[in-house]
Structure formats: C-alpha cells, structure tokens
Amino acid sequence: MRAITSVGVGRTKWVRFRLYFTALVMTALFMAIAYKSWSVQVRDGERMRAIGRSQYLKDLEVTAPRGTIHDRNGRELAVSVEVDSVYANPREITEPVVASKLVGRALGLDSRELLEKLDSDRYFTWIKRRISQEEAAKIRELKLAGIHLVGEPRRFYPGRALAGPVIGLAGVDGKGLEGIELAHDELLRGRNATLPALRDARGQIVLAKGWGEPATPGATVTLTLDSFIQHAAERALFDSVRENKADGGVVVVLDPRNGEVLALASSPSYDPNDPSTRGRKEARNRAVTDLFEAGSVMKAFSIAAAVDAGVVHGRDLIDVEGGRLQIGSKTIRDTHSGENVITVTEVMKYSSNVGAVKIARRLGKERLHAALLRMGFGTKTGIELPGEAKGKVHDPKRWGEIGIATISFGYGLMVSPLQLAASLAAIANGGTWNPPRIVKRIVGAGGHDIPLAPRESQRVFKAKTAREVTEMLKAVLEKGGTAEKVVVPGFVAAGKTGTAHKKKAGAKGYDDDSYLSSFIGFVPADEPRLVIVVLIDGPRAGKYYGGAVAGPVFARIAGESLKYMGIAGNMESPALSEAMDRLDRPSMTPLPEPAVELGDTDELPPAGPGEPIVLIPDFRGMSLSEAIAAATTAGVRVELQGSGRAVSQFPPPGRAMKSITCRIAFDPG
C-alpha cells in the first residue's frame, strides 16, 4: 500500500512539474511575442510603416528640363528640346508577334529582341528613347494598343564644336559629365517631377494619378565667353595646329580689367552632339587641366618680380657674356643675342637666358619664389570649371644654382595656360591680379539671381612696376625683338615669346626635336582690353620659335576681336594701310565653316558614293529651339545667326542633297 502511494505521489509531482514547465515556456513565448509586437508597432513603428508603404507605393520621376547655357550676349550654347520616346505596356498588347514586327520595322529594331519585351506580363518597358520626328510619326500611324509615346528632354548644343571642352556635355540621364555641364550640374538639372503611384505584389505599376511635386526647370547659366571671340580663337588655333603639324594647342583670352574669360580654345576639340567624338583626350579642357614648362614667356614674370623688388630697372646694364654662361657642368646659352652688355629691357626684347639668370640671382631664390606664388603659380585660380590643375613650384631650398637659373627662364616649374593669362593680366591691369572667372550670371527658375561665389582681387605688383614691364614687353614686338613680325594692324601690342624643349616621354632629359611654342601678350598695350595666351604643342613643320608659330595666332585673334568689339586703332600707326584693308566689322559666324563652299548660285555637287542624302526642312518661321529639333531629326547641320524667328535659310527647303551645313538667319522682330 505504501509502495502504491509512493508511486502515485511521484507521478503527481512529475505531472505538476511538466505543467509548471509548460506554463513557464508558454509565458516566456507570450512575453517574447509581446515584446516583438511592442518593438514592431511602437519602438520601430514608423520605420516599419515606411517599409510597408515602400512595398506598394512608388514615386515615379519625370525629368525636369535642363537649364540653358548662354554666352555673355545671350547666344544659346546648350539647350534642352523635347523629343519623343517610345514605351510599351505589354499587358495591353493582344498580338505581341504582330506588334513586334510593325514596331521593329518603324524604329529599325530587331523584331525578335522586341518580342521578348512585348510578350510579357509587365506593365512598362522602354522600346526606344529620343526618336526622330519621322519615327514618331510612323508609331502614331500604327495606332497599336499598348505602344505609347512620351516626351523627354534631349540636350542639344547649337554651336556644335564651339567651346565643346568648356561647355562639356550631359548624358542621356540628364546628368552633367564634363565642363560647365558638370561643374554646375546641380543647378542646371533642376528638380524632377514626382508622380505618386501604386504597385501590386509583383512590384508592377498598376495606378498612377495626379502629380506630386511639379518639375522645376534648371537654372539658366550665362557665361563670360563671347561666341565671336571664341570662334576667332578656335579658328586661328586650329589653322595653326594644322599648318604646323602640331600635336595640339591652347588659347586663352581674358579681359584684364575684371578677369572674365572671353575664350578658351583647345585642340583637339570635340562636338558634344556627336557621341563618336567624345573621347577623353578630346574632352579635356587643356587650358585648365594641362601643365607645361612654358619656357621664355616666364621671363616676363621673373623680370617683373625683380623690377618690383627694386633690384633692376629697364635701363640697367647686364653683362650677358656673349650669350654663354657656365653653371657647374651645365651651360646656359642665348639664341637671339650675341652681345656682351645689354639693358634689362633688351634682356626681355632679345629673350636672353643669361640675362634672365643674372637678374634672378640679384633677386634671390626666396624673393623669386614668393613672387611666383603671389602671381598665382602653384595654386588653383578657382575658375568655375572641373579638373583645374594647380601647377608646381618647388620649395626654393631645392633649387640650387641651376634651379634658380632654369626657373628664371621657364624650366623647372609647371604652369597652366590659365595661370599664365591671369598673371599677365595683372601686369596689364596695373599690378592687380583678378581671379579668372567664366560664369557671369546664374538665374533660377523663378527669375531670381543665384549669388556667385565671391572673388577677391589682390595687388601683386606696384603700378609703377606694371608700367615699366609693359614698356619692356612692347619692345619685344619692335624691330629686332623676338616678335618683330607679330603685328596687330592699327594697334601697339605688348607680349613675350617662348620656345621650350619638351621632356622626353618616359625618360629623363629633354627632346631636342620636340618643342612647345608660345606667345603671351595684351592689346592695346597702353589701355589693355584683351590678354591672349597661345601655346602650340609639338610643331613639326620646320619652324618652332614662339614668335613664328604662336605669334601669328595672337595677332589674328587680337585683330579680329578688337574690330568686333568696335575698338578704334591708332590712325598714325605704321600698320595703318594693312588695318584699312580689314576695317569692316566682321559678322558673327561662330560655327565651323561648311564642308562645301557655296558660290554665287545654289547649285551643289552631287553626292558621292556612300554619302548620305538629307532633305532640307523648311525652317522659316521656326523659333531657335524648333529649328534645332527639326535639324536634329533631319540629320542636317545648321549654322544659326541672330535670335527670334527664322526668316531665311540656305540651301532652300525641300532640297535633297548630301550632308551640308544649312545657314539659318533669325530676326527678333
């Protein structure tokens, strides 16, 4: 009996233990569930609700019109025009095989690849974006269920290659990739429109109704560039590069009074409208990204530093020892002078290397180094363009005797063309250095001005120094100077030539047969309006001196630009007869010359084998944007003159001919 009782008690305890244990486990589970519910609904409630909303709500974005880029006179350099894109809703298509064949034929697409897109249960798929007007008309004629057209902005550059590396380009997604388009992408892009939509469990859009945030167009950016001066600079540069069989070149044109950039030309260049020309080499804006050992043009600044410090003056005599100076194992030689004693002005005029070395020695390493930094070398100018290089000016402790010698005439330091222009502008501007700028104004979508970053000028030379160095630079273009053949008809100019050996590629030392030819100058010399820097990289046509290669480019740009600006020349100048021959103010034709020269008639040569035939549209009555869109669709290159509505064109409309530039004149009236 006791045994039975003991067994019963043991079972009761075991059952009770299991009940307690089960209750404890259940309680723990309920507490865990309660805690999880609290954390999901209370602690993390807002985050979880956002995740839930994201699963069935989606904001569709519609790209905002990208802002326009103008030159200083309001000429459009980059515009956005609306073109059609084709998309499909496969669920609305009843016969995908038929639809794929018809749409493929209309758009020039592979019908088999198209069928894969159309024969699905998706709600949306792109077929072809940014199509021509002809293709859009074909799609409309088909009237196929599920095939739709929608307008999308496309970036167009009316000037074609004009200032291509400066303006840059925007990609198909509307984002800036190079140049101004990249530097001011956030402002130019504007704010896209949002369209609230619902999507099903598979993530497909099933309902979209009503706009959320409306699209805000991008800001309008006005540059300091002048299209005519830019075109003049590019034309003169490209001609020189071709004639001298050079690797490339750079031109910078500044207004010395305020540092505004009037032209930045680079060769090679590219047309941002043409994807095939957008290689990285061509896209580079060499005026701000490339560095050079500029050679003798740097004498203008090393001598100016010495004059400013009071260690030399224009009439002081310098013993140049017959144009030969030994420094250790190195020999410094002169090219243009065999004299023994010449003045400081003649050191500049004849570009004496020995004279520059002796002047730099009087100044000393520390003061020369400080002056170069003060003039902006070795530091970014802060121009509103991407990829600016700051240059390289070594610590004077590393110079040594040969270091100060070579730096005095432009070797041993790296400078950019823009730095050269800004520093020369300081001399032309009475000793005040203005930071170069290329953006003149930015206007937001609401018509309000967006403030530009403040720029501070600084005095780098005494006014007296600037006047004295200007007289020296004027002597360079006088008889006997290294630029005596550089003449700007009707004007007195000031400048400095440079001819530098280039470093050997991948090796130490310099290449005896590879040169950088340069000319820097300003005009009119006594009341400067233009500072022009010209660098021709690697001329190979038998001449390489800066005065012979780069000097004529300076003279051509200066002459054309001054007449365009309406600045009267000196009527008593010895070059008056030459100036009178070119007295007429040139018309603005800022686009490249047409591929076919037009004579007195409108007869054109027939198309050769394989040359495309284009039909010239009727542009008359169109606005600038409408003409651009029509020309893009037709595959016709255009040269645009004026603003307002198109009033005339050549060739006339309706002509079917090989690819040619069509000139269109606009009238604001």
Mean pLDDT of 140-156: 84
Q: Would you say residue 117 has pLDDT above 80?
A: yes
Q: Which backbone phi and psi does 130 adopt, to 5 degrees?
A: 55, 65
Query: How far apart are the C-alpha atoms of 607 and 343, rounded to whole Å?
Result: 64
Of 46-55, 66-75, 380-389, 612-621, minimum mean pLDDT range? 46-55
613-667 maps to which CATH number?
A: 3.30.10.20
Q: Using omega within 30 degrees of 0 as the cis cutoff, is the peptide bond preceding 651 cis?
A: yes
Contacts of residue 20, defined as CB under 8 A and 6 or more positions apart, other chains included, come to none
- Model pLDDT, residue 617: 86
- Model pLDDT, residue 641: 75
- The confidence band for 449, taking pLDDT boundaries of 50, 70 and 90, is very high
* Greatest mean pLDDT range, 417-431, 497-511, 599-613: 417-431
Query: How far apart are the C-alpha atoms of 263 and 77, rounded to whole Å?
Result: 13
Measuring CA to CA, which residue among 411, 426, 299 is closest to residue 350? Answer: 299
pLDDT tens digits along 491-501: 999 999 999 99
Quote the mean pLDDT of the chain: 82
Query: How far apart are the C-alpha atoms of 42 and 45, rounded to whole Å?
Result: 5
Q: Would you say residue 340 has pLDDT above 70?
A: yes
Strand partners, 400: none
Helix H or strand E encompassing 665: strand 661-667
Query: How far apart are the C-alpha atoms of 103 and 66, rounded to whole Å?
Result: 30
pLDDT tens digits along 175-217: 888 899 999 999 998 777 665 555 554 545 554 554 456 667 8
Catalytic positions: 296
Q: Would you say residue 342 has pLDDT above 70?
A: yes
- Model pLDDT, residue 606: 36
Q: Where are the domains of the chain?
A: 2-43, 60-223, 227-580, 613-667
Distances (CA, A) of 325 to 37, 274, 341, 413, 643: 90, 53, 13, 21, 61
> Global pTM?
0.74
Q: Which residue has the higher pLDDT, 281 or 96?
A: 96
Q: Would you say residue 127 has pLDDT above 80?
A: yes
Helix H or strand E encompassing 395: none
Query: How far apart are the C-alpha atoms of 442 and 106, rounded to whole Å?
Result: 42
- Please state which CATH class domain 227-580 belongs to: alpha beta
pLDDT tens digits along 28-70: 787 777 777 766 676 766 666 655 555 545 555 666 778 999 9
- Model pLDDT, residue 283: 72
Q: Would you say residue 1 has pLDDT above 80?
A: no
The pairing of strands 661-667 and 637-641 is: parallel
* Greatest mean pLDDT range, 323-332, 529-538, 653-662: 529-538
Helix H or strand E encompassing 23: helix 2-38
52 burial type by CB count under 10 A (0-12 exposed, 13-18 middle, 19+ buried): exposed
- Please state which CATH class domain 60-223 belongs to: alpha beta
- Model pLDDT, residue 48: 60
Query: How far apart are the C-alpha atoms of 333 and 326, rounded to whole Å?
Result: 9
pLDDT tens digits along 207-266: 455 445 666 788 999 999 999 999 999 999 999 999 999 999 999 999 999 999 999 999
Of 103-112, 151-160, 338-347, minimum mean pLDDT range? 151-160
77 burial type by CB count under 10 A (0-12 exposed, 13-18 middle, 19+ buried): buried
- Model pLDDT, residue 84: 83
- Model pLDDT, residue 505: 77
Query: How far apart are the C-alpha atoms of 44 and 49, rounded to whole Å?
Result: 9
The pair of structure tokens assigned to 225 is 């560039």
- Model pLDDT, residue 229: 95
Contact 487, 519 (CB under 8 A): no
